A and B are shown apart, each in its own frame.
Chain A
Amino acid sequence: MRVIYTGGLNMNLVEIRDVTKYFPVQRGFIEQIISRKQEFVRAVDGVSFDIRKGEILGLAGESGSGKTTMGRLCVRLIRPTQGEILFDGINIAEVEGTEMRNLRRRIQFTFQDPSSSLNPRLSIGDAIADALRFQNMGSPEERKEIVESVLERVGLAPADTFYHRKPHQLSGGQRQRVVFGRAIVLSPEFIVTDEPVAMVDVSIKAQLLELMLDLKKELNLTYLFISHDLATARHVCDRIAIMYLGKIIEIGDDDQVYEDPLHPYTDGLISAIPVPNPKIQKTGKVPRGEIPSPIDPPSGCRFHPRCPKAFDKCSTEEPTLKDMGNGRCVACHLY
């Protein structure tokens, strides 16, 4: 088991408390006239968890589970409908103006697709320098110096040959490095990274993951690592949280969750991962069906229509996240 350095008593950098995020479903003109009931996509629906200082918490789940929305909430790209998101004790859901601007330095986000999150007309050096400019940091010369050191730090050396390149002149892996450079240039404490290696070839995946881990060590970072790829998450995360239809259904230490998944969904999800070893055959625990719509989620436990172990109570009563000891929590009536 990995030992996590917590650095004192208050070891949580981020605390999520009962957060919900509902997006209104767009109605057509006629639907508005006949005043059909307003519906909501319940992307995140009553989620609580902590992110400890210095750890990498994985947030995994299928498309539509709400993991990206959760990540965006953590950096206040969007505001929660309800609940508190405490970063270092400050509720970022309510912070405004200068205070928010100052917080932005400490919290960063990397988007999934590096090609669409970099401005094609801006050189990558300027793209990184913009983060400094918006924070009114340094003179143009100083900013250039900082950016060059950041470029070298993320492996784009020599910096002066990369500074003026445009995104299209870089490979996918290099673009992802620029995205990381832009995230670290303000020396943040916390980075939410959304599928950082989903778009790159497997042959360079490990290189980017190692960069992420190196940066974490050097800069004392804390990561929320959002991924649908559970195999990759296992290699980088200290703890992992599994989301299903806007809820966290299991959270715990990486090894515990992977070796002994408690929730039937976690079990199914892990057994569905293709293993690069022809000798290991599928056990056939893969759940039936697909993730239902978050507009009108199933009653009781949201997984019950697909669950092989569902019983009466599961369709009527919603299970809460129960503490199983050792920081392990699971939301299932079996326990």
Chain B
Amino acid sequence: MVDVLRIKDLIVEYTTQRGTARAVDRVSLTLGENRTLGLAGESGCGKSTLGRSLMKLVPYPGKIVSGDIILNIDHDITWKKGTIKKGDVSILELNDDQLRMIRGSEIAYIFQDPMTSLNPMLSIGKHFIQIQQAHDPTIEDEQALERAKEVLESLGILAERVDDYPHQFSGGMRQRVMIGLGLVLRPRLLIADEPTTSLDVIVEAQILEEMAELKEKFNLTMILITHNLGVLAQTADDVAIMYTGRLAELAPTEALFENPQHPYTEALLQSVPDVTKPDKKLAWIPGAPPDLVNPPDGCMFNPRCPFAMDICKQEEPPLIQSDTGGLVACHLYGRS
């Protein structure tokens, strides 16, 4: 199996007036072809920043400090100013021009809010024409529209609706348009940031189902960023739990849900309401995530952790192999 994406020791920092906050802290990940990786955690854990940094789109004042992001490309990309050879490409070393060719065509990003990501002045068809012509100016409008119709139909949107404007679509349909725009250039890697968060459960279930079908059809590798662990249980192959910018745990989905290793993962799972288990006693995590400008010493989770030991307050736990086939960063493991 080819590794589509390899992230090595990625560090992303936001510089604010109060100081520097490390939003992504030495994250390393490998993502195999056709896998779906779920990224989960509380608000502010760095999951969206990590997703955006993969396209080098970290918003100001964020900055990728160090690390490496390596994307595998399975064909040569040629445009009038140059080429990118197939094989491993280091995203952080690309110039703006090269990045423009990679974004959209190799890595697509579906943003959180479908209401603000579409241009209200342009018809849906025009969105599709622009994105295709940006990557290949020789494509005629008609040809681009044909492709748009094809993609939209696979998402359950009637082809004639390419002439409609964003406001004529419901929230669910707009999100489908966003997914369509992400897929029209046949990317290899799709990053979906909370793609169904603003939607009702029925539409959410429909879209997740359609995404699973499209993943097969387009041979996609996916990163699904969400705070909803229920969604990940149904869709992801592997789940990474992030806390304060670090990976707390990474494991195959079933192992993670059945046998969570990190106390944080366990606490998160305990707090999720489960419609099939009405008697489940919902728990919560005391306190709040720490201030990233002044993080605590040792393990970042120690002030909220029920199992915190002395060592947790002094030393940061390394990410080690867990017994369930994943990785975990916790002093409870690997010491005895």
CB-CB contacts of B268-299 with A at 8 A, as 1s and 0s?
11011111101010111100100000000000
Q: List 29 A-B contacts (CB under 8 A).
A: A62-B201, A62-B203, A63-B171, A63-B200, A201-B42, A202-B229, A202-B271, A202-B272, A203-B271, A203-B285, A205-B273, A231-B230, A231-B272, A231-B275, A235-B282, A258-B275, A272-B202, A274-B205, A274-B228, A275-B230, A275-B276, A276-B229, A276-B233, A280-B276, A282-B234, A286-B205, A287-B202, A290-B172, A290-B203
CB of B323 within 8 Å of the partner chain: no
The size of the chain B interface, using a CB distance under 8 A, is 41
Chain B 232-273 interface residues, beta-carbon cutoff 8 Å to A? 233-234, 253-254, 257, 267-269, 271-273
When distances are taken between beta carbons in the complex, the residues of chain A under 8 Å from B201 are 62, 228, 230, 269, 272-274
Give Cα A210 to B254, complex, Å: 29
Give Cα A205 to B43, complex, Å: 13
A286–B209 contact, CB under 8 A? yes
CB of A204 within 8 Å of the partner chain: yes
B230–A274 contact, CB under 8 A? yes
The size of the chain A interface, using a CB distance under 8 A, is 43
Nearest chain B CB to A63 CB, angstrom units: 6
When distances are taken between beta carbons in the complex, the residues of chain A under 8 Å from B275 are 230-231, 234, 258, 270, 273, 275
Q: Interface on A for B, CB 8 Å cutoff?
A: 62-63, 171, 173, 201-207, 209-210, 228-232, 234-235, 254-255, 258, 268-282, 286-288, 290-291
Give Cα A255 to B279, complex, Å: 11
Give Cα A279 to B283, complex, Å: 22
CB of B204 within 8 Å of the partner chain: yes
CB of B58 within 8 Å of the partner chain: no
B234–A278 contact, CB under 8 A? yes
When distances are taken between beta carbons in the complex, the residues of chain B under 8 Å from A173 are 288
Extra contacts, 11 of them, besides A203-B42, A231-B273 (Cβ < 8 A), are A201-B227, A204-B271, A210-B282, A228-B200, A274-B208, A275-B233, A275-B275, A276-B269, A278-B234, A278-B253, A278-B254
A209: nearest chain-B partner, CB-CB? B282
When distances are taken between beta carbons in the complex, the residues of chain A under 8 Å from B78 are none
CB of B92 within 8 Å of the partner chain: no
A203–B267 contact, CB under 8 A? yes
